[in-house]
Amino acid sequence: MTKKGIIRGSTVILNKNSIGYNGVAAFHIDVTTSYGDDPNTILDTLIKMPNIIVATKTVGEHDLLVLAVIHNIQHYTKLGLEIAQIPGIKEINSNIWTGKEEICPKYFII
């Protein structure tokens, strides 16, 4: 099935709390391409950042969606500021969730 492209990969699900993370942040990002900034370059930069677990283009109200694991509110704030400094980032909206809610592949229906 892998050779036929039916199975394209697999994943491991970690308990974020057992490795020191207490929450997950979602960053909805708008980019500007007026200065030659490429959304793919921005995505490459984002996915290489520690704590980023998903970075993808979206169609709709925002250009990109980024999910990150966070230690606490201070870490969330710092990460948001680091993302905002990436060339081509125009605006960021974000939210967080904490507790027992998990990001799990069973919620990604294809």
Report how many domains make up the chain.
Answer: 1
Is pLDDT at 41 greater than 70 in this prediction?
A: yes
Could you tell me the CATH number of the domain that includes residue 91? 3.30.70.920
pTM: 0.77
| Domain region containing 30 | 21-99
Lay out the sheet containing 64-70: strands in order across.
52-57, 64-70, 23-31, 89-98
What would the pLDDT profile of 49-78 be if each residue is shown by its tens digit?
989 988 999 888 999 999 999 999 999 999
Q: Kindly provide the residue ranges of all beta strands, DSSP E only, lying in the chain, ordered along the sequence.
A: 23-31, 52-57, 64-70, 89-98
**Is 38 a member of any domain?**
yes
**Is 81 a member of any domain?**
yes
Is pLDDT at 85 greater than 90 in this prediction?
A: yes
Three-state SS at 83: helix
